[in-house]
Structure 1
């Protein structure tokens, strides 16, 4: 799909994590692969801190691997909610710009809708990548993606989750459309055309 992601890897033991960090360079973001809500996510800056994290914050083993990704310093984070139906139609529900820098979990951050500082070219990239992901994954219902944009304007995909996000109620209120209700209806066979929700609504 030609979608950029930060360099990273999956560690099943301490030596894996150290090797990944050595390859991509510090700082890195480390987090368990098996939890929700950003629990135990941390930014580490050295081998010593990484070893401490692995020994105290998580239990890393082949059944519970740890994700190790390059930390994008001074980047901003973007949340996007999209809705897809069984016919391959995808509509952007809302694009939110985080106030805090990338790395602060979305559950702990504030955001604005519409975005305030993101260029139109970056927004079009985010819309295009989200649509491609929804179609390739065969999403029917809601999908949430998170992106980072660097100071130089590079866009990176952080996560793609084929499910509703905590942001959906706020986006729904901002755009005046009940996205969770629409998701239930498209999963029961309705099309986005049936629901008369066929294009992105940008609140003013």
Structure 2
């Protein structure tokens, strides 16, 4: 088995398949530890902040500093839950959390993507994080198509400010991809879940089953 980093994160917009691939990875090798999303490791803080109108707190009441700090605190607590000698599997790693904070800042504060990114980067500062192999899963390498595919998979309408946020998030993620933020970027357009999972396995150096299937 390949030597793995402390953490592997799968990143991407809503409905990109992150959770499904992480579960399948965790079932393949007991050296993988499924750590999930940050709110699972800082439940009290998230429950308190998001009590009542979730969207209003996220997009109106909270400040960019407050939201970014909460995302980073959750990430730190999640990382601390990793057992020694195992590789933690993260549903949205550090780059994705910064993308989420950036996209929220754009739609909430009316900044450009560049301005919002600089703001979030300044808040995050030079905090040291554990080694993380981050893989970005994108429904398409075109921002508009990527958003349209993700929205169609939702199965229910996105309302209020959420469509604008999601469109911005896709733009931010693609910008990060061009900047080389992620260890690997996978174009998922027109591809099956199994084919994408094989690419994830191959990139990480995880053996397939003997028949070659994931």
Q: Would you say same fold, with TM above 0.5?
A: no
Using CA pairs under 8 Å that are at least 6 residues apart, name the structure with larger relative contact order, 1 or 2: 2
Q: Higher strand share goes to which structure? A: 1
Structure 1 length-normalised TM: 0.30
Structure 2 length-normalised TM: 0.29
Q: Higher helix share goes to which structure? A: 2
